[in-house]
């Protein structure tokens, strides 16, 4: 059996690392299981791409489509054209896609048109917000998938409600948490920790990249201004995404406690998160990591595809509503933040479950 694994953007790399490790474990046990790794090149910043392969001990890709940046349509089209050629020259039994990035959707469509079965890792999650490109990617991918691997019982139920047969849905846990738990002892203090004289639980980490937050200049300016002011004398460390950097350059937003830094690798970024007083973000994946590390998280979105981080974990949704943001900071500084628990099966063994299921499926 040969599995073609797709990686396109930073969140994918953390998810494929434990899957490849689980495949190698099966190979060492004598199971005839092979894989080929395709990197679509959707993320083009070295710190958001190559670094993750190096840090997480992921083999460098067998093929890189080298798609780079572009509009949604440009990237989707380029990935589909490139991946169709790959499949024509590299036969496979199964295409495995992870998450909800453009590459996930594009490669799923190509695989199905080529008559190849698709496994979707992190299937069934939904935000209900069709303004998010990722939500469209999820819907399209799950409408074509053959084997659905879910992170939560809610995601499994969502798929059942959509008519997916129960015997195609596998609740396995969260592969991104597999990677976090494996690397927790390897996290590295970044140089900026000493340069900025940071102290444990005495600073915050911020990430912003959603179009709803960063595409409109006045909205971005108001949001960053409020966050910096509410942060009091706590340093706010802001690794700046390439998308956001262009916008920030023209806004002249300077606050004593706000520090713009270059994008960080996985081990350094999660060191900052683990030791932070709180995280301010509009990312979905980071809310999962803060939940497992018991770090308070304020999510600057109105909806989430990971509601378990709110109902079980340490996350609170505030959107970009100034009143809700202020209330969250008040709760944070009063020491009244919820402690949170870790969701079921977020135990570091999700990838092993996925590969065990696939071996069983293909044996039968």
Q: What residues form DSSP beta bridges with 205?
A: 237, 279
Reduce the DSSP state of residue 95 to 3 states and report it.
strand
Distance CA 72, CA 98 (A): 18
Q: Which residues contact 44 (CB under 8 A, 6 or more apart)?
A: 68, 69, 242
Catalytic residue among 209, 259, 294, 357: 209
CA atoms within 13 A on the CB side of 210: 25
Do residues 103 and 11 lie in contact, with contact meaning Cβ atoms separated by under 8 Å?
A: no
Q: How far is CA 288 from CA 100, 234, 258, 272, 302, in A?
A: 15, 23, 24, 15, 17
Q: Which two tokens stand for residue 192?
A: 């900026």
Note if 294 is an active site residue: no
Picking from 140, 141, 152, 148, the residue whose alpha carbon sits closest to that of residue 164 is: 148
d(CA 280, CA 270): 14
**Radius of gyration for the alpha carbons in the chain, expressed in angstroms and rounded:** 20
Q: What is the SS3 assignment for 64? A: strand
Give kind and range of the element (H or E) at residue 336.
Answer: none
String of b and e for 206-244 (b: at least 16 CB within 10 Å)? bbbebebbbeeeeebeebbeebbebbeebbbbbbbbeeb
The helix (run of H) or strand (run of E) holding residue 286 is: helix 285-293
Are the C-beta atoms of 179 and 293 separated by less than 8 Å? Answer: no
Token output for 92: 């496979």
User: Residue 115 — left, alpha, or beta (φ > 0 → left; ψ -120 to 50 → alpha)?
Assistant: left
Angle at CA of residue 207, ends 202 and 211, nearest 5°: 155
Tokens representing 146 are 């053959």
Q: Which residues are catalytic?
A: 209
């Amino acid at each position: 059996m040969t599995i073609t694994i797709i990686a396109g953007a930073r969140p994918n790399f953390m998810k494929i690392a434990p899957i490849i490790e689980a495949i190698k474990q099966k190979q060492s046990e004598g199971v005839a299981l092979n894989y080929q790794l395709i990197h679509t090149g959707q993320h083009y910043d070295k710190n958001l791409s190559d670094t993750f392969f190096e840090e997480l001990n992921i083999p460098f890709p067998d093929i890189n489509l080298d798609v780079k940046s572009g509009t949604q349509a440009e990237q989707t089209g380029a990935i589909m054209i490139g991946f169709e050629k790959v499949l024509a020259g590299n036969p496979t039994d199964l295409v495995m896609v992870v998450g909800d990035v453009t590459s996930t959707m594009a490669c799923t469509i190509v695989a199905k048109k080529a008559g190849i079965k698709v496994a979707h890792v992190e299937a069934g999650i939904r935000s209900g917000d069709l303004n998010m490109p990722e939500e469209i990617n999820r819907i399209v991918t799950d409408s074509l998938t053959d084997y659905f691997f879910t992170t939560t019982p809610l995601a499994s139920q969502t798929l059942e409600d959509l008519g997916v047969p129960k015997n195609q849905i596998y609740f396995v846990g969260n592969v991104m948490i597999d990677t976090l738990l494996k690397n927790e002892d390897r996290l590295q203090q970044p140089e900026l920790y000493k340069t900025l004289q940071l102290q444990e639980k005495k600073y915050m980490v911020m990430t912003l990249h959603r179009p709803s937050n960063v595409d409109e200049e006045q909205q971005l300016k108001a949001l960053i201004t409020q966050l910096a002011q509410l942060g009091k004398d706590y340093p706010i460390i802001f690794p700046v995404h390439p998308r956001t950097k262009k916008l920030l350059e023209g806004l002249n937003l300077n606050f004593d406690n706000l520090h713009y830094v270059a994008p960080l690798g996985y081990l350094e970024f999660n060191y900052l998160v683990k030791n932070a007083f709180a995280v301010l973000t509009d990312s979905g994946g980071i809310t999962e990591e803060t939940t497992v590390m018991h770090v308070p998280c304020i999510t600057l979105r109105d909806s989430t595809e990971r509601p378990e981080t709110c109902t079980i974990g340490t996350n609170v949704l505030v959107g970009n509503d100034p009143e809700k943001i202020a209330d969250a900071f008040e709760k944070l500084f009063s020491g009244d933040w919820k402690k949170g628990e870790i969701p079921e099966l977020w135990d570091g063994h999700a990838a092993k479950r996925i590969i065990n299921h696939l071996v069983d499926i293909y044996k039968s």
